[in-house]
Amino acid sequence: MIGDLHRSRINATVRGLSGISAPPDRFTDQRVLLTGTPEVLASRNGAEMMRSAVLLLMRMTTDLTVAIPGGFDELAEGLAKTARGQAWERAPAFATMPLAEEGYAAILSVGGEASAALPLTVITSNGWLARVSSGSMAISQRCNQWNPVGAVAAASLGAGEVFKRLLRLKPEHGQLLDGISFSLWDYGLSNDPGPHLPTEMETDLLVAGAGAIGNGVVHLLSQLPLKGRRRVLDVQTYGDENWGTCLRLTPTAAAARDEKATYLATIWGKGVEPVVGRIEDAEADANWRAPKVVLSGFDNVEARYAVQDLWPDLVIDGAIGPRLECQVSAHPWSGEIACLRCIFELEHGEPAENVQRRLTGLSVAALRQASRALSRQDVADAEPEKRNWLIGQIGKPICSVFEAARQFAGGDVAADFRPSVPFVATMSASMMVTELVRYLTTGNVGVEPRFFFSVLWGPQQGAHYPEDRHDDCQCSMRAHLIERVRAGRWY
């Protein structure tokens, strides 16, 4: 199982996590049940949560059972068709409720009563709210305000809870969520579903990067009422290793090594233009027309620089990390919010200890003992804004803590792929699309520039990281030149 290329990134994530009890080589063999209640499944949000959950869970386990209540034949048939098209090995088994709930390592229910007596997680969504409970705390069953972004976020958090159960995660390395109602609109705990989606949104949009995050982004954008120019850019083709993390990728497309940009443009819908090429070369094309908004899902710093060098009205960037971290950042040209070059740049010639301290938040004394394990005292002595992330690193060698932080900040990675899981990518995508809708409807952004959390601990422990433009960055030093270039562009 470990050697299977199509699950290589998920298996690498499992092997890289500390504080787990499950044997890594048996992780994907565990039985999982996905079900739901008639009340919630009757809503559009409920149907989307179920669809997204099927797509996510079948990438995590080879033994998935989907149990649908009677009277939902159309939903069941649609889900079964989707599952057959997406299945790498055997497709999920479909059954009709009621079904015995014993013998499963994890149960995910779209709607229903919470119970700590079972390995049960309940999810619901309403508007911009993603609700989840893996304990005894009840969550609201109200799901009447349609919003695919909240629904996918709820499915992502629910899949994360299943993942933690399959890991048999020790309490000091993460926690199951109990009665959480998280607002994507406010980035905090709330019961307010937020504003309704508009009936139409005009945009000039480029999705840059068609990997795991890009799949989640396009899955959401295809369900929003967008008008205007829409493009997907990527130079790469898919491979078997992408199936485990890319929500909409079929085994057929992976085996055929389909062009990423063309594949996602087709999924997005009619009129979407694929751009097969490197972001670094985009403006060299005589027919290139600059986008006004870019959603960036690239996983390396060089590509992020190239995205920022387009200097659009707004860049929204998504990032994921090796310990289930997810991040959204927004970089409008107007105002003083830090650009991508500001937040991902490492200064050349800076002392190594300074770089390590800035990335990890650890004290110099701790960094000078790189071979020992990170302790709770080290976390207590660290910079406050880094502590939530560092809690998940306790017990790991300090040298590996720095490496994890460096990779998450966009540093080079020795391997040709990064360990990752699909539900973290879709959670990051949900936050990115939230920022897109916010900008298109209000002209503002909700992060200045970043919001970050680890799915191991939950969004309620997330944090904002405000940062202004750096005086020594191109966005400041060449601001007047950038303004002239922007003014003379062909849109």
Name the percent of the chain lying above pLDDT 90. 73
Segment (H or E) for 159: helix 148-167
Question: Other CB atoms closer than 10 Å to residue 74's CB: what's the count?
Answer: 9
Do residues 457 and 338 touch, judged by C-beta distance below 8 A?
no
Flag the least confident range among 164-178, 338-352, 420-434: 338-352
**pLDDT per position as a tens digit, 39-90:** 999 999 999 999 999 999 999 999 999 999 999 999 999 999 999 999 998 8
Mean pLDDT of the chain: 90
Residue 413 predicted with pLDDT over 60: no
- Alpha carbons 24 and 4: distance in angstroms, whole number: 13
Q: How confident is the model at residue 97 (pLDDT cuts 50, 70, 90)?
A: confident
**pLDDT per position as a tens digit, 202-257:** 999 999 999 999 999 999 999 999 999 999 999 999 999 899 999 999 999 999 99
Residue 294 predicted with pLDDT over 70: yes
- Alpha carbons 353 and 364: distance in angstroms, whole number: 7
- Alpha carbons 68 and 430: distance in angstroms, whole number: 26
Q: How confident is the model at residue 6 (pLDDT cuts 50, 70, 90)?
A: confident
DSSP letter string, 208-254: E--SHHHHHHHHHHTTS-EES-EEEEE--B--GGGTTT-TT--HHHH
Residue that is written with structure tokens 């992020």 in the block: 304
* Through-space distance between the first and last CA atoms of the chain, rounded to whole angstroms: 49
Enter the DSSP assignment of 448: S
* Contact residues for 175 (Cβ-Cβ < 8 A; gap 6+): 456, 457, 458
**pLDDT per position as a tens digit, 441-489:** 999 999 999 999 999 999 999 999 999 999 999 999 999 999 999 998 8
Per-residue pLDDT, 412: 40
- Alpha carbons 124 and 158: distance in angstroms, whole number: 9
**Amino acid letter, residue 62:** T
Going along the chain from its start, the domains and CATH numbers come out as 5-189 (3.40.50), 201-345+415-487 (3.40.50.720), 352-408 (no CATH)
Burial class (CB in 10 A: 0-12, 13-18, 19+), 301: middle
Flag the least confident range among 81-95, 114-128, 241-255, 375-389: 375-389
Burial 243-264 (b: 16+ CB within 10 A, else e): bbbbbbbbeebbeeebbbbbbb
- Alpha carbons 1 and 18: distance in angstroms, whole number: 20
Residue 138 predicted with pLDDT over 80: yes
Q: Which two tokens stand for residue 279?
A: 């972001």
Flag the least confident range among 133-142, 166-175, 365-374, 460-469: 365-374
Segment (H or E) for 13: helix 8-16
Residue that is written with structure tokens 């090796």 in the block: 322
Residue 141 predicted with pLDDT over 50: yes
Question: Other CB atoms closer than 10 Å to residue 442's CB: what's the count?
Answer: 10
CA neighbours closer than 13 Å in the CB half-sphere of residue 390: 27
Torsion of CA 411, 295, 455, 413, to 10 degrees: -20
Burial class (CB in 10 A: 0-12, 13-18, 19+), 351: exposed
Q: Which two tokens stand for residue 149?
A: 């972004």
